Amino acid sequence: MILKTTFILGGAASGKSTYAEHLVVATGKPRVYLATSQAYDAEMEDKISRHQTSRGPDWETVECPFELAKALAKIRADQVALVDCATMWLSNHLLKDHDLEAESGLLLRAIVACKGQVVIVSNEVGMGVVPDNALARKFRNVQGKLNQQISEISETAILVVAGLPMALKGELP
């Protein structure tokens, strides 16, 4: 059983989203998928379509590449929301040159205030080499800070590597 807020980290293609979806389905509650990706090319459109098909019709999907805090405010107490993912949401704001500190603050407050359960997926970006350009280094730093802040307000934090979940905070559901 998941608690109020569960944070799931992992590298790209680590199995974190699949694991998060299984946790949400296991609650038996009405589920809402808060999608933060944007399709800028055919490959991304295909990926999004495959994800929607694999989830099936029992999910309500809300597209929120920027307005994630507002979407979380609409989650009812009887629902569970899956945010997939904080990394894309932050990238969207970074590329639009938005105030990342202000946007992150809004998101963190919305997670805490959310009436339903929330599962948040994010990429762990701090385990690779130091990026070779300023934008990539800025992203790595702000993503690392956001991950730390989400971990702090979450009851459970899980790292997924090669499809295997490991509890970082709390216990595995």
Sheet strand arrangement including 59-63: 59-63, 31-35, 80-84, 117-123, 5-10, 156-161, 164-169
Verify whether residue 98 is a known catalytic residue: no
- What backbone phi and psi angles, to 5 degrees, belong to 5? -130, 125
Catalytic residue of the set 22, 51, 93, 98: 51
**How many degrees, rounded to 5, is the angle at CA 158 between CA 135 and CA 76?**
90
Buried b / exposed e across 136-152, counting CB within 10 Å, b at 16+? eeebeebbeebbeebbe
Residues 6+ apart with CB under 8 A from 149: 104, 108
Q: Which residues are catalytic?
A: 51
